[in-house]
Every structure is written in structure tokens, then in C-alpha cells.
Amino acid sequence: MATSIGKLSKSFFVKLLVGIIILPFVFWGMGDVFRGGNQNVIATIDSKKVSTQEFVNHLRRLNLNEEQIKNLPKTNLMEKILSEYIGPKEIGIYPETGEMITLRKGPYGFYMQVGEGTKEKKPKRVSIPKNFEPDEIGLNTAIQLMGLPRKLGFHPETNKTVSAGIGMYGPYILHDKKYKALEKTDNILDIELERAIELIAKPTQRGNATLKTFGEHPTEKKNITAHDGKFGPYVKCGKINASILGDQTIDSLKLEDAIRLIDERKTKMGSKKKKKKVKN
């Protein structure tokens, strides 16, 4: 397949076939694959077939060795590698500048960008809120998101402007130089002044809200709770935080699963401390 993956597709939709990409490497070794000629189809992108060799060529450019490739399923890098070589998805022209709006994926999730920017000026960007499906965003929605922040009106008690926008930590309400996060049921494009005033009136909660309590950890003797943070859902036990990865969700997670995540995280934290002592 002569055409590169980036040129083949303007979409992020990747459907991996049985065995994903690692099976041929694990069972038949890397030698034949790296020498070239392996045209086994291991993925379909926009109805286009992707061969093992084409994917390996991409891995070569990333300077990954055979051992790193074999361990990809354990490191959760597969999605990152795929998203890196699949080109941005074009949504449509932004009327204010006449430039293309593209959907992209960065280290913290999906975002949109207008044009490519210059050395003097960075391109306009906006993060995609968690309650939006990136693949369902059309041009009208994209233009509205790119147009944020928007003015909602004036607060009746202070007569100061209330606005809504998207920042580093997600959608927010801004009033009197103070930010208030939107709740999960709020839509940044639909929220009105009345609802914004209601959110402003609520007391500010320190830290991420507790979404679920699993029960007490048998050895830590503290409750394990679930939260949704900047980098996604996680469980917490005392000072130990462990990310919820893969297909697991806060709703599907059980006490024994939460205990295992905390224990694994504690083990990793312990090994890091030992390495630091050795260096010293």
C-alpha cells in the first residue's frame, strides 16, 4: 500500500481486526515483518485496508524496538500510536477566518483547531467537552464551540457580566473574576443565564466530587472512593490515587477491582521511591 495512513483517512474511526496488531509479532516473530512484504490486513480505516507492513513502517519512525512493540498491550499505547498517524478530520470552514476547522486528538483528549497558525500566532483551539461525541460534531456545532466564550447576560445582584466558556479543566461559568465548573448534565452551548446564576450560588467544593464509595480497604483501613478528574476517572484511598483504565468504568467497578487498583498503584509508588534512594 503506497499511500500513507495519514493520506488515506481524514477520520479518527479505526476498527482493529481480530488479534489487533500484536498477534503476528508475538506468535510469528518480528524478523519477517521488519524485513518487509507482510501485507496481512490488521485494520480498516474508512473502508481502506491497512497492512502489517504499513503499520510497522510507522513504528519504525517512532523508533520502537521489538520488545516495546510486543509489550504495547500492557502499556496502553496502541490508541495513542494509531491516533498519531491518522490525520486530522476536516469539519468545515470557519467563517470568521476562512480557515479549515479540524478535529484532532491530543494527550488530554479530542480538540478542534482553526487553521495551522503561524510562528507569531498560535492557532485558535478548543477542547471537546466530555458530554460531546467527537465523531458527531458537525460544522454548526464546531463554529459555536470555536466561538466560545459567550456572554450570557448580567448577574442581577452584582450587575456584572456572566459568561460561559471552555478552559483547561473543562466547561465553566465566569462571573466577577471567579470560575465555576459546569455539572455533567449542563451543555455549554445551551446553558442560559438563569442556570448559570444557580451554579454560581452553589458553594465551591474542594477537590473532585465523590461519585461512588466502594467500601473500606482491608489493609489501608480507609474508604475507597471514585472521582472524575482532569485526566479521567480514578479511585482514591487516603493519599493513593489510581486511574481507571481500559473498558472499566466507575459504574462497572466493584470493591475487589478498586482494591486491586489501589494495591497496584501503591506497589508502583513504592518501587519509584526505592529507585530514588538508589540514585542518591
Distance CA 117, CA 195 (A): 36
Highest-confidence segment of 53-67, 151-165, 192-206, 209-223: 151-165
Query: What pLDDT sits at residue 279?
Result: 54
pLDDT surpassing 90 at residue 60: no
Query: What pLDDT sits at residue 35?
Result: 47
Mean pLDDT of 6-31: 42
Contact 166, 186 (CB under 8 A): no
| Average pLDDT, rounded, for the chain | 77
pLDDT surpassing 90 at residue 73: no
Query: What pLDDT sits at residue 130?
Result: 86
Percent of the chain with pLDDT over 90: 41
Mean pLDDT of 182-211: 87
Query: What pLDDT sits at residue 3?
Result: 39
Query: What pLDDT sits at residue 242?
Result: 92
Distance CA 149, CA 152 (A): 10
Query: What pLDDT sits at residue 30?
Result: 45
161-172 tens-digit pLDDT: 999 999 887 899
Mean pLDDT of 80-104: 81
For residue 43, name the pLDDT band (cuts at 50, 70, 90).
low
Query: What pLDDT sits at residue 83?
Result: 55
For residue 65, name the pLDDT band (cuts at 50, 70, 90).
low
pLDDT surpassing 80 at residue 261: yes
Lowest mean pLDDT among 71-75, 104-108, 183-187: 71-75
SS in 3 state form for the chain?
CCCCHHHHCCCCCEEECCCCCCHHHHHHCCHHHHHCCCCCEEEEECCEEEEHHHHHHHHHHCCCCHHHHHCHHHHCCHHHHHHHHCCCEEEEEECCCCEEEEEEEECCEEEEEECCCCCCCCCEEEECCCCCCHHHCCHHHHHHHHCCCEEEEECCCCCCEEEEEEECCEEEEEECCEEEECCCCCCCCCCCHHHHHHHHHCCCCCCCCCCEEEEECCCCCCEEEEEEECCEEEEEECCEEEECCCCCCCCCCCHHHHHHHHHHHHHHHHHHHHHHHHHC
Query: What pLDDT sits at residue 195?
Result: 96
228-245 tens-digit pLDDT: 877 778 999 999 999 988
Query: What pLDDT sits at residue 85?
Result: 52
Mean pLDDT of 73-85: 55
Domain boundary assignment for the chain: 5-85, 89-146, 152-201, 212-279
